[in-house]
């Protein structure tokens, strides 16, 4: 689905979504095809569900969003250094 279709189906709701097809344009992540994973009662529940799914399925591209946003503004940030999960494997 596209974001416009999802906004029509789920007006004014918090969602956990997955990017099925996406690309990067500069430092912006553009989601071409999206699936709704879960509908949540509020932002806190959406964030909790996102964290739970992200821990279980770290390879999936998941986001929590509110459908009041006309456009999805997802900015990619580059991480430098060691991530906490990688610390035990870092060379000494």
| Tens of pLDDT, residues 35-92 | 999 999 999 999 999 999 999 999 999 999 999 999 999 998 877 766 666 555 555 5
Note the pLDDT of residue 85.
63
CB burial of residue 92 (10 Å; 0-12, 13-18, 19+): exposed
Instruction: Print burial letters for 45-80: b (CB count within 10 Å at least 16), e (below 16).
Output: ebeebbeebbeeeeeebbbbbebeeeebebeeeeee
> So what's the pLDDT on residue 68?
97
pTM: 0.82
Residue 20: the pLDDT is: 97
The conformation of residue 12, written as its DSSP 8-state character, comes to: T
- In this prediction, residues 2-22 reach a mean pLDDT of 97
Could you report the per-residue pLDDT of 19-35, keeping only the tens digit for each? 999 999 999 999 999 99
């Amino acid at each position: 689905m596209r974001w416009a279709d999802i906004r029509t189906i789920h007006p004014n709701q918090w969602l956990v979504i997955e990017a099925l097809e996406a690309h990067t344009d500069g430092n912006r992540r553009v989601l071409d095809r999206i699936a709704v994973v879960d509908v949540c009662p509020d932002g806190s529940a959406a964030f909790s569900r996102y964290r739970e799914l992200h821990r279980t399925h770290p390879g999936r591209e998941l986001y929590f969003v509110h459908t009041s946003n006309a456009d999805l503004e997802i900015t990619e940030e580059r991480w430098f250094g060691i991530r906490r999960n990688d610390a035990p494997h870092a060379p000494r």
